[in-house]
A = this chain, B = another copy of it.
Amino acid sequence: MSKPTIQDVAQKAGVGVGTVSRVLNNHPSVRDSTRAKILKAMESLNYTPNPHARRIAGGRSYTVSVMLPMVAAEFYIRLLTSIEETLGEQRYDAAIFPMLGRERLERYLESHTMPYQADGIIQITYNLAVLFPDGRMPTEQPVVLVDGKTDLYDCTYVDNYHGGLVAAEYTCQAPGEIYLVSFDDENDPDAIFKSLVFADRIHGFQEGVSRAGRSIKDTYFCGLQYHEGLAITKQIYDHAQFPITIFAGADILGRPMIDEAKSRGLILGQDVRIIGFDNQPWAAEIGLTTLHQPVEEMGAKAAHLLLERLSGFEGPPRQFCYQPFLIERASSLKSIPVI
């Protein structure tokens, strides 16, 4: 009554274990008819290969570790989903390691822990390699970084600087005060996680505003939570001289700006223009103008890069940069009423 093994399948299909193994690893040299026969046997036995045995025998377990800051932020869910789908195409599974904080990260870092037991590692947003003395992960496994740039490993990322620039150009099409609200971990000495994602957006925006000969009235930083964005929004609305334009470094911070504007009877696109970043699935619903980033493409590409490494590719690190683009919606459009 225990799980069926490759032996059972071989017997049931009337072939040798070697052949079964071949179809498992879809080796080309197997006659279609026998392949079918074996597949049928696996089906009827409800057989699935034991990844531990595969790992120990063949040196690979068909799992890859995905290390990310957290799960539940929509951005990461989307990324994760696209990565898993792509890995699935080659029958790979993802083992998820949410770091969440310094303590957990440190546990995961030690070279004998779970993340290193997989065939490869995908890191999201944070390039953990920089935490090591030599700037490399303490492993021979292929590593790829998503949503971050590095010269040492394959990576896929968004040109956040450019996104900030575009936001600035659009901002400067209208008169009035300009505000910037964003998350920033760049200057937090205690932040073990660091990325340039937000810093780049900010710098791009600053550069763009200054190129247009304008200037930013005020800049605020806060965490990526609705209530934090709301608190800052109130400050801004309390003292601003309308019209104003606010660039929120993330959609989640743009959301309270819309809500609070409505609460106060401010007219969106006229008194207040709001620009987000991310184009979250709900951004359309609330009419938030924002910079779209191709999250799914980025994740899928990263997974592909890793799969290539896992099938033996040995070239130098490859970098893929995606350009975000502006999607104009009611939060910044005159005369189109917000639903």
Contact = CB atoms under 8 A, between A and B. Distances in A.
A191 interface: no
Nearest to A110: B48
A309 to B, nearest CB: 18
Contact of A114 (B55, B93, B104, B255): B93
A95 to B, nearest CB: 6
A97 B100 contact: no
A339 interface: no
Interface stretch (A65-73, A150-158, A208-216): A65-73
Interface residues of A, number: 40
A56 B48 contact: no
A77 interface: yes
Given A98-B98, A227-B226, A227-B256, A112 B48 contact: yes
Q: What 6 A-B pairs are tightest by C-beta distance, nearest first?
A: A72-B72, A48-B112, A52-B52, A52-B55, A71-B71, A226-B226
9 contacts: A51-B114, A52-B56, A71-B72, A81-B104, A93-B114, A96-B97, A98-B98, A230-B230, A230-B259
Interface of A: 46, 48, 50-53, 55-56, 61, 63, 70-73, 77, 81, 84, 93, 95-98, 100, 103-104, 111-114, 117, 225-227, 230-231, 234, 255-256, 259, 263
